[in-house]
Structure 1
Amino acid sequence: MNEVNTRKRTLGVNFNINGLANAVLWAPDAEHVEILLIFQNIKIPLVREEYGYWILETDLLSPEDQYWFVLNGVKSLADPASLSQPEGVHGPSKAIDLNAYKWTDTNWKNIPLKEFITYELHTGTFTPNGTFASMEAKLDYLVDLGITAVELMPVSQFSGERNWGYDGVFPFCVQHSYGGAQALQHLVNVCHQKGLAVILDVVYNHIGPEGNCLGEFAPYFTDKYSTPWGKAINFDDAWCDGVRLFFIENALMWFRDFHIDALRMDAVHAIKDFSPVHILQEIKQQVDFLEQESGRCHYLIVELDLNDTRFINTVDKGGYGMNAQWVDEFHHALRVSSGQEKSGYYSDFNGIQSLAKAYRDAYVYDGAYSDHRKKKFGIKAKENTGEQFVVFSQNHDHVGNRMLGERTSELVSFDMQKLMAGAVLASPYLPMLFMGEEYSETGRFQYFVSHTDTELAEAVRKGRKKEFQAFHMAGEAPDPMGVEAFEKSKLHWDLIEKPPHNTMLAYYKKLIEIRKNQSALSVLNRKDLDVECFENKEVIILRRQHRIQEVIGLMNFSNKPQDVHVAVYSPVWHKLIASSDVLWNGSEDLPETLSGEITLVLPAQSFTLYTNQYE
């Protein structure tokens, strides 16, 4: 085996056009492999093939049947490529026919990446019921907000019913408590009907701790490397071909069988691979083949704690070919600019000076010395386009990895929240919102798990406590095992009807509308951009241009009014938005029009946009 089939899923249990079940299991060290059909209470032996694969074709296994794989007549284990775990990570697998779902999105065409305005959400806390089905009722809200892409935090099966998703142990299996595989297919189908692209967060850098049985079957892990979350996945050691195929098929499955539009690949800097062709590059190659066959377009977006363009450069330029990456440094610089503390890795950032560099260069550290890292860090990204970088003012990590899970709404003023929103949406990069920020959600988003292993649960508690020592935080972190942390993290949808939350929601809608309709903002051209930083005033002036249109962004991060002068002439400057206007719960209205050069007194903690013409 070890050859990729982009047309269909081959690993695990699948059903062919004749209704027969095909089982494929990789277990190179096994002497004997059977499949145990639980309802019939019978065992059927598999036949050994080359490279350690075992295969079977049978009419005795049907969709919805539960089964185990049995190794050497002794150990009954769930399918590593299981599609359903109705009894959780310690229970048997359930066979599913992925082709049974009747799609109606034939005419769907993926949105160009440059048009992505992404909304990151956690399925379990986005709605009171925490399911894919209940999420569908909120899709019109997201469309009305102006969102174009919905990003789901990981949905692969994890232990229990409460988890961020990064502890998944069955990469092919959709979390049962969310609704399972067909419910996810239905959600994606409905999203496409409403014009929304779907991004799925996947984890290829580690496997969760509880219920992880991959190592029982084959050398999925290696001792050559380590990760912060446990054993490293074996992408380049002995027997790595089977591991690589496993994860390549996983990526293809989401695109082909679930019609996912983009994958957000978690912490790829923790993937260790010194193969001649990096696993990310090989995934990209296979996705390209899939696109040629299907005619559909798919994107690969990576979370990357490295300022290294090799990941997002095309293969012909020596890169891995990923379409875009998250840029945490923009977030860090914006956070410090807003007056928040500079502890931990935030200590490397100098407020608006760093933010201005992020606007200009994408990477704040592109070869300069990082005191936090104690070394020179990063390379320049001059030739990379704006659509290759995803920016945000908050996300699940930077909220939930705070000890208490405070959102920006709890950490800064209402005015500063509006300024931070404008700073993101006026950038020449892909903007992302974290669920609830658009209406200034006041509830916290905390870290939560539901491990049933008591030793593991205690280890998680101790690990969280140790993590916060680096930030010199006093007090006790909420118990991640407690149901309270999960319940408190659910959105409070009743807030959107109440002031000032309804005002913030309207403000976000207007910002997104402006970004879409003004070509100087929607065209992500990093070349036609200029940024000035006035450290003594804590003011940034951002100029973006497309053809004859110019948009001027004026950001005052200080706590007092500041005089600004922009020496760019236009017969008339039209106000697009001013966060200080009374309409947005501000203190004063700025002029609707200005003539000649822009001279203004910017109110404290304000964001303002003027343009030389309407489009």
Structure 2
Amino acid sequence: MQFEVWAPGAGEVTLMCDGVTSAMESDPERPGWWCGRARAQDGSRYGFAVDGGPVLPDPRSRRLPDGPDGLGAVVDHGRYEWRAPWRGRPLPGGVLYELHVGTYTPEGTLDAAAERLDHLAALGVTHVELMPLCPFPGRHGWGYDGVAPWAVHEPYGGPEALKRFVDRAHGLGLGVVLDVVHNHLGPSGNHLPAFGPYFTETHHTPWGAAVNLDAPGSDEVRAYLRESALAWLRDYRLDGLRLDAVHELADTRALPFLEELSAAVDALAADLGRPLFLIAESDRNDPRTVTPRAEGGLGVHAQWNDDFHHALHTALTGEAQGYYADFARAPLAAFAKTLTRGFFHDGTYSSFRGRHHGRPLDRTRLASHRLTCYSQSHDQIGNRARGERLAALVSPGLAACAATLTLTAPFTPMLFMGEEWAAGTPWQYFTDHTDPELAEAVRRGRRREFAAHGWKEEDVPDPQDPATRDRSCLDWSEPRREPHARVLEWYRRLIALRHAEPDLSDPDLADTRVAFDEESRWLAFRRGDLRIAVNLGSEPALIPLGARPARVLAAWEPVEPPGADGLLRVPGESSVVLFQE
């Protein structure tokens, strides 16, 4: 079997495979690359030693059975026999469901999560968006400290378990999206610097030296990240990738890495004959991220829209700290702006940043499905001091209003696992660092961060305490009892409406019309022949919809259609969807 590794500064490289050591040779046609051959098969353990150093895992290891510090294992992807034929599932018209494998079930494995996929198929979502799966030291964590972007975390079940998960999801008609991290690698178990200039001091990020996307040697680093992304889509039959915090990709080259990656993904989609897509997390509010390459954009297929969340959250909770401040001044006006223009900060002044922020979307040209909206996400829950979900902050009626607004908005909606039944479990920040000094630094840093906002140290959960992860696991007995069962049925009804009513998947953002009353706390908007009315106040609201006949399609509390006066009476903390031609 042929082995190869990029180590441009090495004088010699040694291959060790199944206990047998052999010298590798430099490749005269590819500067910096070393090649060698050894007898190997699926499961063979191997690694490389650079200039007499320790034997380290291959930067492109497809499997790390013993974790990031152990040898890699050969993976023969051709051995897996796929059962479910799959032609793909495109993003337009989709409903995403963000899922963390380690807390979706108490077992915290891909196989255990796969057993719960029937629930998602019955819910009506179209794509499961898995949080990062790359290996990291320890067993439990959020996954954003992964250090091997070609491999699957072994405690989750490794490569074969991911294939079984995808196979079962596809058999149920569900697409699968994976969250990948290109902006940094974790602080422990990262051996890339021993092989080459994967990082550069030219730029710095919140995690230290930046991933090398534009300094000497960056051609190979970009290829490393690009090819790992394509491998997930090709070898595991994934349907899309979510790209973590692309605003932290330090890249000054004329051809941005994101544009290069989107072109490669589109080419792979054409080659495979099925749709593939990228969803970026970006806080830049720059429409060029999702503008097609032919129109001068980066060509990413969609991006998260935090402005939708912030406006909705402030309207529901009244919170006004930090980045919520600008939205809280007039929350319904802010939310109305996101519904009709995509971004709230589209060149406006951001007091949180102390500068103007964002750029306007061209509503006449950019399809609205390219923005992803949500009332909850792993970030917005887990980065609270105690990881409270929205259901712990507001009444069941207001939580149902949040679902209504998210699932009838003109964007691609996303749910966070458990929100569909107003899960009573928190989702907290937890780690399992095996380095004692790093573990203590994370613990102190977390508590120091929230102490600055008035929290007592003992009130902030210890990330390293196994109980913090355990508290964050979903309780699967909840959906069978009230009040959770009622919330779950509401989500199912709204998602079914989204699939059944073409107006709810209309990509024309400019067609959305909104009316609201900040004082009375009601908001109504039109999408084609549908009217969505939400009353966030505690008292009933009279909402003018006009005298044309209307039919109630879904209502959280019983509602009569508007009478001859054209007024719709909506109970407090309730919402309704109507058909009014």
Q: TM-score, normalised by structure 2?
A: 0.96
What is the alpha-carbon distance in structure 2 between the residues aligned to residue 427 and residue 596 of structure 1? 28
Structure 1 counterpart of 2:243 = 265
CA offset at residue 291 of structure 1? 1.9
1:32 aligns with 2:32: no
1:148 aligns with 2:126: yes
Structure 2 counterpart of 1:172 = 150
Give the alignment partner of residue 511 of structure 2, picking from 528, 535, 547: 528
Give the alignment partner of residue 416 of structure 1, picking from 377, 381, 398: 398
SS state of the match for residue 201, structure 2?
A: strand
SS state of the match for residue 68, structure 2?
A: coil
Q: For 1:93-172, what aligned pairs fall within 5 Å after superposition?
A: 93-106=72-85, 108-172=86-150
1:251 aligns with 2:233: no
What is the alpha-carbon distance in structure 1 between the residues aligned to residue 60 and residue 453 of structure 2? 39
1:590 aligns with 2:562: no
Structure 2 counterpart of 1:18 = none
SS state of the match for residue 157, structure 1?
A: coil
CA offset at residue 221 of structure 1? 0.3
What is the alpha-carbon distance in structure 2 between the residues aligned to residue 334 and residue 473 of structure 1? 25
For residues 542-569 of structure 1, give each alpha carbon's deviation from its aligned partner in whole angstroms, at most 9, with x where no partner exists.
Answer: 1111xxxx111111112222222123x4
1:607 aligns with 2:575: yes
Would you identify which runs of 4 or more consecutive aligned residues in structure 1 move more than 6 Å? none
What is the alpha-carbon distance in structure 2 between the residues aligned to residue 432 and residue 472 of structure 1? 32
Structure 2 counterpart of 1:575 = 552
Given residue 393 of structure 2, which amino acid in structure 1 is its aligned partner?
A: L
SS state of the match for residue 508, structure 1?
A: helix
Structure 1 counterpart of 2:263 = 285
Task: Give the direction of change, closer, same or farther, for the CA distance of 1:466–1:112 in structure 2 (3 Å limit).
Answer: same
Residue pair 1:343, 1:471 contacting (<8 A) in 2 also = no
CA offset at residue 523 of structure 1? 2.1
CA offset at residue 528 of structure 1? 1.7
Given residue 132 of structure 1, which amino acid in structure 2 is its aligned partner?
A: L
What is the alpha-carbon distance in structure 1 between the residues aligned to residue 53 and residue 192 of structure 2? 16
Give the alignment partner of residue 553 of structure 1, picking from 532, 540, 545: 532
SS state of the match for residue 92, structure 2?
A: helix
SS state of the match for residue 156, structure 1?
A: coil
Structure 2 counterpart of 1:14 = none
For residues 74-121 of structure 1, give each alpha carbon's deviation from its aligned partner in whole angstroms, at most 9, with x where no partner exists.
Answer: 321111111111111111111111221112333x22223112101101
CA RMSD of aligned residues (A): 1.4
What is the alpha-carbon distance in structure 2 between the residues aligned to residue 72 and residue 141 of structure 1? 53
Overall identity of the aligned pairs, in %: 37
Residue pair 1:121, 1:150 contacting (<8 A) in 2 also = yes
Given residue 501 of structure 2, which amino acid in structure 1 is its aligned partner?
A: Q
SS state of the match for residue 527, structure 1?
A: helix
Structure 2 counterpart of 1:495 = 478
Structure 1 counterpart of 2:418 = 436
What is the alpha-carbon distance in structure 1 between the residues aligned to residue 247 and residue 344 of structure 2? 18
Q: For 1:362-441, what aligned pairs fall within 5 Å after superposition?
A: 362-382=342-362, 383-441=365-423
Give the alignment partner of residue 71 of structure 2, picking from 92, 100, 104: 92
Given residue 502 of structure 1, which amino acid in structure 2 is its aligned partner?
A: A
Deviates more, 1:282-291 or 1:394-403: 282-291
Aligned length: 574
Residue pair 1:268, 1:302 contacting (<8 A) in 2 also = yes
Structure 2 counterpart of 1:6 = none
Gaps of 5+ in 1: 1-20, 582-588
For residues 269-308 of structure 1, give each alpha carbon's deviation from its aligned partner in whole angstroms, at most 9, with x where no partner exists.
Answer: 0001111111111111111221222212100100011110
Given residue 372 of structure 1, which amino acid in structure 2 is its aligned partner?
A: F
Structure 1 counterpart of 2:48 = 69
Given residue 154 of structure 2, which amino acid in structure 1 is its aligned partner?
A: H
Task: Give the direction of change, closer, same or farther, for the CA distance of 1:470–1:599 in structure 2 (3 Å limit).
Answer: farther
CA offset at residue 597 of structure 1? 6.0
Structure 2 counterpart of 1:3 = none
What is the alpha-carbon distance in structure 2 between the residues aligned to residue 115 and residue 186 of structure 1? 26
Given residue 121 of structure 2, which amino acid in structure 1 is its aligned partner?
A: V
SS state of the match for residue 276, structure 1?
A: coil
Residue pair 1:573, 1:595 contacting (<8 A) in 2 also = no
Given residue 178 of structure 1, which amino acid in structure 2 is its aligned partner?
A: Y
Gaps of 5+ in 2: none
Given residue 279 of structure 1, which amino acid in structure 2 is its aligned partner?
A: F
CA offset at residue 68 of structure 1? 1.9
Given residue 114 of structure 1, which amino acid in structure 2 is its aligned partner?
A: P
Structure 2 counterpart of 1:82 = 61
Residue pair 1:344, 1:470 contacting (<8 A) in 2 also = no
Given residue 118 of structure 2, which amino acid in structure 1 is its aligned partner?
A: D
Task: Give the direction of change, closer, same or farther, for the CA distance of 1:596–1:474 in structure 2 (3 Å limit).
Answer: farther
Residue pair 2:562, 2:569 contacting (<8 A) in 1 also = no
Residue pair 1:344, 1:471 contacting (<8 A) in 2 also = no
CA offset at residue 595 of structure 1? 5.1
CA offset at residue 462 of structure 1? 2.5
Give the alignment partner of residue 448 of structure 1, picking from 427, 430, 435: 430
By percentage of residues, which structure has more strand? Answer: 1
Task: Give the direction of change, closer, same or farther, for the CA distance of 1:98–1:525 in structure 2 (3 Å limit).
Answer: same
Residue pair 1:400, 1:447 contacting (<8 A) in 2 also = yes
1:309 aligns with 2:287: yes
CA offset at residue 356 of structure 1? 0.6
Task: Give the direction of change, closer, same or farther, for the CA distance of 1:597–1:53 in structure 2 (3 Å limit).
Answer: farther
Residue pair 2:41, 2:74 contacting (<8 A) in 1 also = yes
CA offset at residue 380 of structure 1? 0.5
Given residue 390 of structure 1, which amino acid in structure 2 is its aligned partner?
A: T
Task: Give the direction of change, closer, same or farther, for the CA distance of 1:224–1:472 in structure 2 (3 Å limit).
Answer: farther
Given residue 393 of structure 1, which amino acid in structure 2 is its aligned partner?
A: S
CA offset at residue 51 of structure 1? 2.1
Residue pair 1:70, 1:77 contacting (<8 A) in 2 also = yes
